[in-house]
Amino acid sequence: MARIVMKFGGTSVADIDRIRNVAKHVKREIDGGNQVAVVLSAMSGTTNQLIEWTREASPMHDAREYDAIVASGEQITIGLLSVILQSMGINARSWLGWQIPIKTSNIHGAARIEDIDGTEIIKRMQNESQVAVIAGFQGLASDGRITTLGRGGSDTTAVAIAAAIKADICDIYTDVNGVYTTDPRIVPNAKKLNRISYEEMLEMASLGAKVLLTRSVELAMIHKVRLAVRSSFEDPETARPTRDSDFTNLTTGISNHPGTLVCDEDEIMEQELVSGITYSKDEAKVTLVNISDKPGISARIFTPLSEANINVDMIVQNVSEDGKYTNMTFTVPEGDLDKALKVIEDNADNIGYEKILSATSIVKISVIGVGMRSHAGVAAKMFETLAKKGINIIAITTSEIKVSVLIDAEYIELAVRALHTAYDLDVN
C-alpha cells in the first residue's frame, strides 16, 4: 500500500464529465489498496471569471475580499468530486484550506504556506479509508482570513500536503503525459523523460517549460517529495495503480510508470549530459549606450531596478577601446519593460548615459542537464551549432547545469530543432 497525493488542474475538472473521469482515477488507486488525498483546482476559466467580476465590482478592491471571492472556485470542484466519489461507494470528504488548516502568511493574493498539520487526514486515511478531497490555492492567515497562494497555488498545495502526510509520491495530473526534452509543438520527435532531477526541473520551469511551476518544484526539493507528471486524459480503466514496489529500488526506475518522475539526483542511476532544451519568449532587452566605465556604475543601474522588484537576467558589458565608456545590455521580463525604462529614466542623472535602447523581438534558448557538471564542451557545442545555422548570439549566461543564450526571435524554431538534434535528444 502506498500513500499518494493526486492533483488535478483546471482543464482536468472543466465539467462534470471530466470530474467523473478524475473520480475514476481516484477509484483505481483506492481499489489498488492505496491511501489517497486529492487536491483540485477550480474549473478551467472560473478563477479568471471571479477575478474579472471582482475588478468590475471595484477596481480598488480590498485584498482580503478578493481572496474570499477567488478561493470559491475550488470549493465547487472539491464538493462535486466528493459527491461523485460517494455515489461510487467511496468514503470521501471535502476539505477547504481553513478546515485542515493550511496556515499561511498574511500576504493576500500571494500567500506562502507556513505549516500544515496532516494528523487528522492521516488518521482518517488509516482508520476509515477516507479520501481527503482538498481545495488547492487557498489557506488561512493568522488573523483567521482566507488567503490565496497566487499563480500555481494548487500545485504548491499538493506538494505541501504530500510533505505533511508523508506521501510516497505526489502525482500532478495535467493535459500532457510527462516532461519532454523540448516543446513537441516545435520538435515532434521530442522524447518524454522517464526521470528528471529537481534541479533540472527547476531550471526548465524557470526558463520556459510550462508543465510545472518553480514554486512547487522548489518546495518538493526542500521536503524530498517525489513528483510525477502524468496525464489526466489517460484511460483510468487501463492504467495500473501505484504499488509499494515502485519505491523499493528507485535506481532501477518505476516500472511501467506512464509519466515523468521528478526526484532527487541520487535516485537517477545514469545522468544524461543534456536533459532538455527550453525557450522563453517573454524577454525584453535594454541597452544603455556610453555610460562611464567606473566603479559603482553597475550598482547605480541595478539597485533601483531591484528596489522596483524588476528581475534582471542576462547582463552584457562592452568596454570601449579607451576604457572610459561602456555599453550595458541586460534583459528583463517583457511585462516589466515599460516599468524598467521608467526606473532608468528616473535615475538618468545618477547613472549618466548617452541614450537608452530597448527591444522585445528576442528569445532566450537554454540547454539544461546535470550531466554538465562532469562533462566539458556543452557550451561550445551550443555555440558551434548556432553558428552553423547563422544564428547570432546577443548574450550568454550560465550556471552549473545550464547554458542560456539570447537570440533574435525569428530563429527560435530553427535554434531549438538544431540544438535538440545536436545533443542527440531526438527519438530514434
pLDDT in tens, 104-113: 999 999 999 9
Residue-range domains of the chain with CATH:
3-176+211-268 (3.40.1160.10), 271-428 (3.30.2130.10)
Max mean pLDDT range (11-25, 183-197, 323-337):
11-25
pLDDT for 257: 66
**Separation of alpha carbons 311 and 280, rounded Å:** 15
**Separation of alpha carbons 11 and 174, rounded Å:** 8
pLDDT for 256: 57
Averaged confidence pLDDT in the chain: 89
pLDDT at residue 253 greater than cutoff 60:
no
Rounded percentage of the chain residues whose pLDDT exceeds 70: 94
**Separation of alpha carbons 153 and 109, rounded Å:** 10
pLDDT for 420: 95
**Phi/psi of residue 247, nearest 5 degrees:** -115, 5
Strands 35-40 and 3-8: parallel
> Is the separation of the CB atoms in 162 and 125 below 8 Å?
no
pLDDT for 428: 65
Higher pLDDT, 398 or 125: 125
β-sheet with 102-104: strand ranges across? 113-116, 102-104, 138-140, 146-148
- The mean-pLDDT minimum among 143-147, 236-240, 408-412 falls in 236-240
> Mean pLDDT, to the nearest integer, of 177-204?
89
**Separation of alpha carbons 97 and 317, rounded Å:** 48
> Mean pLDDT, to the nearest integer, of 255-280?
79
Grid cell, residue 360, equals 522585445
Higher pLDDT, 21 or 296: 21
Model confidence over 325-372: pLDDT tens digits?
Answer: 788 899 998 989 999 999 999 998 888 888 999 999 999 999 998 888
pLDDT for 296: 85
CA distances from 59 to 46, 53, 56, 110, 386 (A): 19, 10, 6, 18, 47
**Phi/psi of residue 6, nearest 5 degrees:** -115, 120
> Mean pLDDT, to the nearest integer, of 295-311?
90
SS3 52: helix
- The mean-pLDDT minimum among 114-128, 137-151, 366-380 falls in 366-380
> Is the separation of the CB atoms in 163 and 225 below 8 Å?
yes
SS3 90: coil
What count of other Cβ atoms lies within 10 Å of the Cβ of residue 288?
A: 22
The pLDDT confidence band at residue 320, using thresholds 50, 70 and 90, is low
> Is the separation of the CB atoms in 294 and 325 below 8 Å?
no
> Mean pLDDT, to the nearest integer, of 58-74?
93
Instruction: Give the residue ranges of DSSP H helices in 318-358.
Output: 337-346, 348-351
The pLDDT confidence band at residue 116, using thresholds 50, 70 and 90, is very high
pLDDT at residue 208 greater than cutoff 90:
no
pLDDT at residue 127 greater than cutoff 70:
yes
pLDDT at residue 145 greater than cutoff 60:
yes
